[in-house]
């Protein structure tokens, strides 16, 4: 694969995480994704994905989108 931009890559990674937690149940889909990104992504990656969300959040799966909205706080 080659991701055109680093935002594409982050979206892909976030959705991958989201897909795992989605299989753990509806609640975990958002909470699990949120906790995982908070624990393992460095701030510049978190800021970049938040910026991507602010710019429309193209490509983010719905539960991942919700998790990233909550990542701000």
Partner 1 sequence: MSLVHETDYGTPKSKSEKTVTLTIDGQPVTVPEGTSIMRAAMEMGTQIPKLCATDMVDAFGSCRLCLVEIEGRPGTPASCTTPVGPGMVVRTQTDRLAQIRRGVMELYISDHPLDCLTCSANGDCELQDMAGAVGLRDVRYGYEGENHVFAKKDGAANQNFLPKDESNPYFTYDPSKCIVCSRCVRACEETQGTFALTIAGRGFDSRVSPGMQESFLGSECVSCGACVQACPTATLNEKKVIEIGKPEHSVITTCAYCGVGCAFKAEMRGEELVRMVPYKNGEANRGHSCVKGRFAWGYATHKERILKPMIRAKATDPWKEVSWEEAISHTASEFKRIQKKYGRNAVGGITSSRCTNEETFLVQKLIRAGFGNNNVDTCARVCHSPTGYGLGQTYGTSAGTQNFDSVEETDVAVIIGANPAAAHPVFASRLKKRLRQGARLIVIDPRRTEMVQGPHLEAAYHLALRPGTNVAVVTALAHVVVTEKLYNEKFIRERCDWSEFEHWAEFVSLPKNSPEEVAKISGVPAETIRGAARLYATGGNGSIYYGLGVTEHSQGSTAVMAIANLAMCTGNIGRPGVGVNPLRGQNNVQGSCDMGSFPHELSGYRHISLDEPRHLFEKDWGVTLDREPGLRINNMLDAAVDGSFKGIYIQGEDILQSDPDTTHVSAGLEAMECVVVQDLFLNETARFAHVFLPGSTFLEKDGTFTNAERRIQRVRKVMAPKNGYADWEITVMLSNALGYPMQYEHPSQIMDEIARLTPGFANVTYQMLDERGSVQWPCNDKAPEGSPIMHVSGFVRGKGKFIVTEYIATDEKTGPRFPLLLTTGRILSQYNVGAQTRRTDNSVWHPEDLLEIHPHDAEQRGIRDGDWVRLKSRAGETTLRAQITDRVAPGVVYTTFHHPDTQANVITTDFSDWATNCPEYKVTAVQVSPSNGPSRWQEEYEEFSRLSRRIAPLEAAE
SS3 content of the chain, % helix, strand, coil (to 5): 75, 0, 25
Q: Which residue has the tokens 């982050």?
A: 10
Instruction: By CB under 8 A, tell whether 73 contacts partner 1.
Output: no
68's enclosing H/E stretch is: helix 62-71
* Structure tokens that stand for 73 in this block: 């706080």
In the complex, least distance from residue 1 CB atom to partner 1, rounded to whole angstroms: 5
Binding mask 21-60 for partner 1 (x = CB under 8 A): --xx-----------x--xxxxxxx---------------
Stretch that binds partner 1, among 16-24, 53-61, 64-72 (CB under 8 A): 16-24
């Amino acid at each position: 694969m080659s991701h055109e931009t680093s935002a594409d890559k982050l979206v892909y990674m976030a959705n991958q995480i989201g897909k795992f937690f989605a299989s753990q149940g509806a609640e975990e889909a958002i909470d699990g994704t949120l906790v995982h990104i908070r624990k393992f992504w460095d701030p510049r990656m978190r800021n970049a994905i938040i910026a991507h969300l602010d710019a429309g959040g193209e490509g983010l799966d719905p539960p991942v989108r919700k998790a990233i909205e909550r990542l701000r706080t």
